[in-house]
């Protein structure tokens, strides 16, 4: 199979973690007889420095022209003082929107090898953590009107949170389809006791759920969901929610699995082209020091193989290789534990790539 991948390394640890994911993709290509062509483009802070904008038109064009997109991370203190519309994060939001990627899949799965790294008590962890958050990605307060104005001598800031029925329907539909390939259970998370957008969300989600009687469906308020994730994460299979609730809950969900550095994500729209990125940020404090955990990005590449290219055997191989190096006790600093071997970003990528090549 031949595929063209646009690569957006971004800022901070972005370049180093993406390099390891490319190493792993090359091991897959070689082992399974595929050909991946990469085109690197700028996004985020580096794009501001090079082109004066966090999302140059040529980056958008290259993403829309590719079979899929792999992204590292954007942002850093260097650009923190910039106004909202030319911050690095604007590049990330812009490319999600430009590619129409409304469905963000973020698995929260505990590798048993990392059970000790989870901050949860052993008896909770032992019940198993394996759920996926389906986050609406191009609507809500992220994309509503933002303004700051002076009213009666003081500043007043406003962020508008719009949701249309079709935006809710399509994301809940995605959650239903994913649930059918898992344990057939969907929890829709909202704040319907306060927000109009959530009351509409609950109504539309209920309508979609009624079309899928084979899926167990329930609603949960977001504050309760935040509590339930740490109290009894085993109850969840698929959680579907709006953009900002999903942003917050996925950081929480990732941490209970041991390290945010392990969690991949897939952002999908109506076609097969997606954008794949780890859910963590650009970690400028450790950038360029070969300390970052590349596994979140490597597992994002595995999701690309699975969801965009339908290469499930290859995706399984990458996931098995990650499990294998964890079994060997290799850990980057974020997930280091007693009796394990501390390795850098490059050595972790090397080990995973080698494990793939050795599988056949
Ligand atoms: C994420 C990040 C982004 C978001 C930021 C960097 C804009 O936190 O992907 O979760 O809020 O979506
Ligand atoms: Mg986030």
For 43-75, what is each residue's pLDDT tens digit? 999 999 999 999 999 999 999 999 999 999 999
110-124, 277-291, 303-317: least confidently modelled range: 110-124
Helical H segments across 181-282, by residue range: 196-210, 222-231, 243-256
**What is the per-residue pLDDT for 326?**
96
Structure tokens at 43: 């996004």
Residue 182 has pLDDT above 90, yes or no: yes
The fraction of the chain above a pLDDT of 70, given in percent, is 100
Q: How much is the mean pLDDT over the chain? A: 96
Q: Is 65 marked as binding a ligand? A: no
Nearest ligand to the C-alpha of residue 11? 1
| Catalytic-role residue among 61, 65, 159, 223 | 223
Residue 132 has pLDDT above 80, yes or no: yes
Structure tokens at 137: 């990605």
Candidate from 107, 242, 244, 247 with most ligand 1 atoms within 8 A of CB, to mutate: 247
Confidence label for 117 from pLDDT (cuts 50, 70 and 90): confident
Q: Is 83 marked as binding a ligand? A: yes
Residue 277 has pLDDT above 80, yes or no: yes
Nearest ligand to the C-alpha of residue 267? 1
Q: Residue 176: is it exposed, middle or buried by C-beta count within 10 angstroms (0-12/13-18/19+)?
A: buried
**What is the per-residue pLDDT for 59?**
98
Cα 105 to Cα 265: distance, rounded to the nearest angstrom: 6
Number of H helices, E strands in the chain: 12, 14
**What is the fold, at CATH topology level, of the domain defined by 119-256?**
Isopropylmalate Dehydrogenase (3.40.718)
**What is the fold, at CATH topology level, of the domain defined by 1-107+259-360?**
Isopropylmalate Dehydrogenase (3.40.718)
Candidate from 80, 86, 92, 248 with most ligand 1 atoms within 8 A of CB, to mutate: 92
The Å distance, Cα 243 to ligand 2 centre, comes to 10
80-89, 213-222, 244-253: least confidently modelled range: 80-89
Residue 23 has pLDDT above 80, yes or no: yes
| Catalytic-role residue among 9, 11, 142, 350 | 142
Average pLDDT for residues 245-272, to the nearest whole number?
94
Structure tokens at 225: 């969901």
Residue 360 has pLDDT above 80, yes or no: no
**What is the per-residue pLDDT for 84?**
78
**What is the per-residue pLDDT for 259?**
86
Q: Where in the chain is the domain with CATH 3.40.718.10?
A: 1-107+259-360, 119-256
**What is the per-residue pLDDT for 54?**
97
Cα 247 to Cα 345: distance, rounded to the nearest angstrom: 26
Nearest residue (CA) to ligand 1, atom 10: 247
| Catalytic-role residue among 247, 307, 334, 350 | 247
Confidence label for 309 from pLDDT (cuts 50, 70 and 90): very high
């Amino acid at each position: 199979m031949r595929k063209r991948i646009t690569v957006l390394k971004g800022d901070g640890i972005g370049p180093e973690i993406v390099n390891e994911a490319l190493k792993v993709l090359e091991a897959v290509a070689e082992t399974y007889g595929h050909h991946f062509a990469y085109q690197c483009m700028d996004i985020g802070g580096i794009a501001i420095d090079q082109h004066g904008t966090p999302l140059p038109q040529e980056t958008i064009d290259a993403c829309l022209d590719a079979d899929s997109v792999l992204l590292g991370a954007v942002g850093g203190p260097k650009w923190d003082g910039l106004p909202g519309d030319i911050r690095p994060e604007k590049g990330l939001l812009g490319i999600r929107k430009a590619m129409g990627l409304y469905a963000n899949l973020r698995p929260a799965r505990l590798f048993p090898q990392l059970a000790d790294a989870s901050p949860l008590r052993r008896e909770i962890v032992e019940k198993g953590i394996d759920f996926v958050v389906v986050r609406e990605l191009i609507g809500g307060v992220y994309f509503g009107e933002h303004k700051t104005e002076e009213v009666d001598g003081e500043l007043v800031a406003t962020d508008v949170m719009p949701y249309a029925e079709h935006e809710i329907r399509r994301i809940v539909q995605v959650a239903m389809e994913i649930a059918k390939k898992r344990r057939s259970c969907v929890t829709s998370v909202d704040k319907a006791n306060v927000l109009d957008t959530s009351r509409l969300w609950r109504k539309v989600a209920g309508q979609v759920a009624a079309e899928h009687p084979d899926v167990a469906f329930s609603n949960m308020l977001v504050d309760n969901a935040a509590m339930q994730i740490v109290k009894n994460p085993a109850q969840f299979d698929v959680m579907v929610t709006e953009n900002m609730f999903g942003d917050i809950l996925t950081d929480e969900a990732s941490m209970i699995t041991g390290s945010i550095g392990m969690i991949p994500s897939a952002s999908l729209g109506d076609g097969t082209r997606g954008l794949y990125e780890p859910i963590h940020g650009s970690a400028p404090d450790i950038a360029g020091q070969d300390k970052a955990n590349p596994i979140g990005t490597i597992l994002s590449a595995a999701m690309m193989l699975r969801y965009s290219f339908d290469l499930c055997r290859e995706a399984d191989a990458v996931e098995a290789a990650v499990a294998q190096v964890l079994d060997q006790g290799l850990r980057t600093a974020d997930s280091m534990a007693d009796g394990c071997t501390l390795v850098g970003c490059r050595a972790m990528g090397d080990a995973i790539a080698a494990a793939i090549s050795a599988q056949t």
